[in-house]
Structure 1
Amino acid sequence: MAAEMNEKTVVFITGGNTGIGLATVQALCESSTPYNIILGSRDEQKGKDAATTISSSLPNTRSTINVVPIDLTSDSSITSAVSTLSSSHNGTLDVLINNAGAALDPAHSQGKLSTRELWNQSWDINVSGTQVLTELCAPLLLKSSNPRLLFLTSGTASLAETERTDGPMYERINGSPAAGWPKPGFTGTPAYRSVKTGLNMVAREWRRLLRGDGVKVWLISPGFLSTGLGGVGAETLREMGAGEPLVGGEFIRDVVEGKRDEDEGMAIRTGEVQAW
């Protein structure tokens, strides 16, 4: 994928120090394809700790990991991170994985965020910051001979599936509470689902803008996995039927390595295209 045969493919992944991001870094390091992975982390030390853990567990990997601090709510942080990318690898970026995000609805339910704070912060982290980063990275992607642009969406973001109540997951996310107000706990994830649906359009716009430049674009719907998203806790999510994050990491690696090229431009799940 990189510009010259023996060069490593340059991959920048945000939120790479935990959850699906960390699992993706691990999956890439387990590949026979060599990567130069730039691990974006809001907390630089946590990023370095994650990189050390993976490097120690995979001493024979052909890939390298470098850490770049980045906070998607800060334009100066994003600009600094992209400046670091621009000054290395001939300013070329082969793959941008927009993985970082946040599910803040539980914090609202617990009284930690007001309704406006919930919606503004959800949009800022999941969509606005991702848009700013992608815009700044676009010139670096255009220097690649095989540029790939990935956005992490959600299985809950499908408008077409909001009427489904078959199975425990759909019943949980689409079921209606009893009549009356207030609704106990005002539960659910309306902000998270809405911003991920918005992100779907953002990705489609990037596909439209960069199609003539040969940039391949995907929305990745990794499935219900036991990450720290939403602050519920991995063990609680496992009890609810969530899979392991490495499943998502291996899925993303497959997309990076061309195994879902026939579904370019779409929101994809491991075994199918996700309905809009």
Structure 2
Amino acid sequence: MADKHILLITGANTGIGYEAVKALLRSPKPYRIFLGSRTLEKSQTAIEALAKEFHSSQSTLEPVAVELESDESIAKAFEAVSAKVDRIDTLVNNAGAAFDTTDFANDVSNARTIFNKAFDVNVTGTHIVTATFAPLLIKSASPRLLFLTSGLSTLEAHSRDFYPPWAPKPQAGWPKKGVIANLGYKSSKTALNMVMLNWHWLLKEDGVRTFAISPGFLATNLGGVPEMLKAMGAGDPAIGGEFIRKVVEGERDADAGKVVNGQGTQPW
């Protein structure tokens, strides 16, 4: 398997991560993919389904359990991967979570939990995964490091108007009714962009190309409402999966250190 591109992707048993694995399996380029999930069972179940669909792919899949809220789980994931390979060529930090309620503006009693859990998974956990696997990543001849961010993370768009544009605008008075802010989630993704920038400069001299990936408004299970998202115009998660493949295969190397999306780069 020495000639295969070795890739680790977290949170890949569903959603955009799962679609990214499918896109890589369709690629003529051979991969050795470590498919990360919160439990080994979920990873194995995903691999079994993918093996049936892509039985002729020259790429291979291996399960790995990695729970971003657990330092012990992350350490064990590193032990499992490093026991099999002496490098990884690409780390895709795809795993993420949202805990916002639909009445977040008035849900003060749950605000601390909403923010803390979002930051624990999307920022702290992702940073720890990256720091843990960095020794393997810098051993690659052409390493890439990807962080899955969001279109909701852009400060520039938020500075112009209440964002996202499809959300009802807040009206005068209190409490604010019908406001969909996703504030815990999007704040964590804005913070993740800073984490990405830090890693971009930290590993630049090691030859690592680092990106934040903004996959677009897609109907995933993040937040548990894919059907509602589709009704609001969200696209298929496969779009995000294919975009990740393009970045992995070097099509956006000129934009390293930036937030990239399908149209170009996303404003900070």
Q: What TM-score comes out, normalization by structure 1 length?
A: 0.92
Q: Counterpart of 1:99?
A: 94
2-structure distance, mates of 1:171, 1:20 = 23
| 1:245 paired residue number | 237
Measured against aligned partners, the alpha-carbon deviations of 1:148-178 in whole angstroms (never above 9, x if no partner) come to 0000000010101114459xx73234x5311
Deviates more, 1:149-158 or 1:49-58: 49-58
Identity of aligned residues (%): 45
Aligned counterparts of 2:223 and 2:109: Cα–Cα separation in 1:
13
The 3 A distance-change label for structure 1 pair 237 and 198 is: same
1:266 equivalent in alignment to 2:258? yes
Q: How many residues align?
A: 267
Which amino acid is 2:266 matched to? Answer: Q
Which ranges in structure 2 are unaligned for 5 or more consecutive residues? none
1:204-253 deviation per Cα after TM superposition (whole angstroms, max 9, x unaligned): 00011110110000000000111101111x22211111111111111000
Q: How does 1:141-156 map to 2 (within 5 A)?
A: 141-156=137-152
Structure 1: segments with no counterpart, 5+ residues: none
Would the aligned equivalents of 1:12 and 1:39 in 2 still touch at CA under 8 Å? yes
Change (3 A) 1:83 1:108: farther
1:11 partner letter: L
Deviation of the 1:187 alpha carbon: 3.0
Q: Whole-Å Cα distance in 1 between the matches of residues 107 and 79 of structure 2?
A: 38
Q: State how far apart, in whole Å, the 2-side matches of 1:211 and 1:153 are.
A: 20
- Matched residue of 1:231: which SS? coil
SS in 1 for 2:101: helix
Partner of 1:49: 45
- Quote how far apart the aligned CAs of 1:50 are: 1.1
- After superposition, the CA RMSD in angstroms is 2.0
Structure 1 distance, partners of 2:165, 2:73, is 40
Mapped pair 1:85 → 2:81: yes
- Structure 2: how far apart are the matches of 1:222 and 1:190? 19
> Which amino acid in structure 1 is aligned with residue 165 of structure 2?
E
Return the offset for 1:44. 2.0
- On the 8 A contact 2:218/2:234 being kept in 1, the answer is yes
What is the match of residue 164 of structure 2?
Answer: 170
Deviates more, 1:176-185 or 1:15-24: 176-185
Query: TM-score under structure 2 normalisation?
Result: 0.94
Equivalents in 1 of 2:180, 2:232: separation in Å?
Answer: 16
Counterparts in 2 of 1:85 and 1:170: CA distance versus 1, 3 Å: same
